[in-house]
Amino acid sequence: MGDDLERIIPETESQTKPSSKYPALQIIIRVFLVLGWLLILAAGLLAICAISFLSTNPFVGIISTLAGVLISVLPFAIAESIKVLIDIEANTRKIAEVK
């Protein structure tokens, strides 16, 4: 029965090959994503503290929130850039194999 199933559903690339050729880059991507979420959390806490404890001026809270969001976007951008580079490499390899 297993042979019949293999004829109907052939193995895909994801079943036969590892998920990535660059496992270290996958780890780096995850580290940057976690760092981004931690920075968002820290920026939120900083904004709450700035609004409620440090000043009666609402601009302090707004500026700290905007700064936190801008800073926390950078790790997400780095992680996505690494993903794009990995995809470019995979597509380039596919094109080279076809020719």
Identify which of 85, 69, 68, 67 has the alpha carbon closest to the alpha carbon of residue 28.
85
**Please, what is the Cα angle at 24 between 23 and 30, to 5 degrees?**
90
Answer whether 0.85 is exceeded by the pTM.
Answer: no
- What integer best gives the mean pLDDT of the chain? 80
Determine the pLDDT at residue 14. Answer: 43
Task: Kindly report, residue by residue over 80-90, the tens digit of the pLDDT.
Answer: 999 999 999 99
Q: 3-state class of 17 per DSSP?
A: coil
d(CA 97, CA 91): 10
List CB contacts of 89: < 8 A, sequence separation 6 or more.
21
Give pLDDT < 50 ranges for the chain. Answer: 5, 9, 11-16, 18
Determine the pLDDT at residue 52. Answer: 77
Element (H, E) at 40: helix 23-49
Determine the pLDDT at residue 16. Answer: 45
